[in-house]
Amino acid sequence: MANAHKVHLRIVTAEAQVYNSEADLIIAPGGAGELGIQARHIPIVTTLKPGTLRIIQNNDENIYALAGGFLEVRDDGEGSAAIVLAGSAESAENIDLERAEAARARAAQRLSESQTEVDAARAQAALLRAAARIRVAELYRSRRSAVRG
């Protein structure tokens, strides 16, 4: 079943598993910079920043907005197995752009009003998450309109 040229990818959040399939290439927002994962990648554990996770499979691309987390890649003998442990992961088509914009505005306001360092850090994190969602949604929309046009 496992294909030596593919990466078996699972995306799990604390609440549920949101993705479980094979991929040719995964591009993830790593804590030390963006990284691409293909089959036979060396075992790695990395933190993930809030951002865009791109899954490329048979020339098709799936985009997810991640709210930070971890990525673990291991060699399962036949190919590579990757697990994304995400604070939250939303597929691009499910993102409500208006809600994301509202969340960004709220976070920006909280950031400007925050009194303590901790508050500021939390607001900053919320801001990054909202920005990641918006980026993903916009990316997805522009792709879709390009296909149509």
Partner 1 sequence: MATAREIRRRIRSVKNIAKITKAMQLVAAARMRRAQSRVTEARPYADALRQVLSGLATQAGRVRHPLLAERPVVNVLIIEVTPDRGLAGSLISNIHRRVGREIVERGANTSMVAVGRKARDFARRTSTQLIAEFTGISDTPVVADVAPISRLVIDAFTESQIDLVLLGYTRFVSTLNQQAVLEQLLPVVPPEENASPINYMYEPDESAVLAELLPRYVESRIYQALLESKASEQSARMVAMRNATDSANDLGRDLTLVLNKARQEAITNEIAEIAAGAAALS
Contact positions vs partner 1 (CB under 8 A): 10, 12-17, 30-32, 35, 42-47, 68-70, 72, 74, 83, 85, 87
Phi, psi at 147, each rounded to 5°: -65, -40
8 Å CB contact between 48 and 84: yes
Tokens 């442990």 locate to 85
To which H or E segment does residue 24 belong? Answer: none
Minimum distance from residue 63 beta carbon to partner 1 (Å)? 21
> Between residues 47 and 142, which has the closer beta carbon with respect to partner 1?
47
Q: Which is nearer to partner 1, 15 or 60 (CB)?
A: 15
CB of 142 to partner 1, least distance (A): 30
Smallest gap from residue 39 Cβ to partner 1 (A): 17
- Closer residue to partner 1 (CB): 59 or 116: 116
Range list of H helices, the chain: 97-113, 117-148
**For residues 79-90, b (16+ Cβ closer than 10 Å) or e, as one string?**
bbbbbbbbebbb
CB nearer to partner 1: give 128 or 139: 128
Q: Closest approach of Cβ 70 to partner 1, in Å?
A: 6
